[in-house]
């Protein structure tokens, strides 16, 4: 009986030790992949920077918000560019390679020629945290090369698909000279064609120093943009690119910027 009790206690202790080990392993994995990369906010980045701001907008003084678009260029991008040009505004475009840059190089050229900011949104929109380092690097370098071929300049900004990043992705971005840009406002325009709903979602979430995420390739998005711009201006916002939002700070490779 005593031997049975000892064996049972031993099995319980082993099970407890195994459970603790699993919990610690999961916690360590989460810490390494989610919480330990370098990140900062636009406001904090500006606060640590010194010097003057090039251009007419100083977001240390103005009530700024950055307008960004993912997943283009596409056929609908031209209409968006017409709107921005009419309102004398510039946005940041995080562009995708396969089916986009490769298909619409002339629209990419127009984005650049009209003074908009261009970022990297990978070649095939693979979630970079779910693929190995070589494949993740290829997703970015192939897009860098395609953008440079058309515009003559490599981006210094990228946006990870689904906003998913970790230490591995940060290391690759640091090596490639790319700062990571997340967002604070999402209209989830990939799930609706209702332009009025897209507009409402943007306006409900927008605050000073925010970064708005939209997708110009979705049907309801571009029609919503004029109303979004008008309402933001009425609320006192100055619409800028991501780099303008950070200035006088310079985007740091590997760093994650999120409001």
Residues with catalytic roles: 70, 215
Radius of gyration from C-alpha coordinates of the chain: 22
Is the CA virtual torsion 125, 126, 128, 134 positive or negative? negative
Contacts of 12 (CB under 8 A, 6+ apart): none
CA 234 distance to own-chain centroid? 26
Round to whole Å and give the CA distance between 127 and 164: 7
Round to whole Å and give the CA distance between 16 and 139: 42
Round to whole Å and give the CA distance between 86 and 131: 41
Round to whole Å and give the CA distance between 257 and 259: 7
Q: Which of 171, 127, 128 is nearest to 38 (CA)?
A: 171
Across 138-168, b (16+ Cβ under 10 Å) vs e yields bbbbbbbebbeebbeebbbbbbbbeeebbbb
CA 14 distance to own-chain centroid? 45
Half-sphere CA count of 61, side-chain side, radius 13 A: 5
């Amino acid at each position: 009986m005593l031997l049975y009790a000892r064996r049972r206690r031993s099995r319980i202790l082993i099970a407890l030790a195994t459970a603790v080990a699993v919990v610690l392993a999961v916690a360590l994995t989460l810490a390494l992949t989610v919480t330990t990369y370098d990140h900062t906010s636009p406001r904090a980045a500006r606060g640590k920077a010194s010097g003057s701001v090039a251009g007419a907008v100083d977001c240390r003084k103005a009530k700024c918000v950055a307008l960004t678009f993912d997943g283009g260029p596409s056929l609908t991008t031209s209409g968006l560019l017409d709107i921005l040009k009419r309102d004398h505004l510039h946005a940041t475009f995080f562009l995708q390679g396969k089916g986009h840059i490769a298909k619409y190089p002339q629209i990419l050229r127009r984005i650049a020629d009209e003074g908009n900011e261009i970022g990297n949104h990978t070649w095939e929109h693979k979630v970079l945290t779910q693929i190995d380092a070589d494949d993740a690097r290829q997703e970015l370098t192939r897009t860098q090369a395609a953008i440079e071929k058309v515009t003559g300049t490599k981006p210094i900004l990228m946006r990870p698909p689904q906003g998913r990043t970790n230490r591995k992705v940060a290391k690759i971005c640091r090596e490639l000279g790319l700062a990571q840009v997340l967002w604070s406002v999402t209209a989830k325009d990939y799930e609706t064609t209702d332009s009025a709903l897209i507009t409402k979602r943007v306006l409900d979430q927008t605050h000073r120093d925010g970064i708005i995420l939209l997708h110009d390739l979705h049907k309801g998005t571009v029609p919503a943009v004029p109303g979004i711009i008008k309402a933001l201006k009425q609320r006192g916002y100055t619409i800028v690119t991501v780099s303008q939002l950070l200035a006088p700070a310079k985007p740091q490779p590997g760093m994650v910027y999120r409001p």
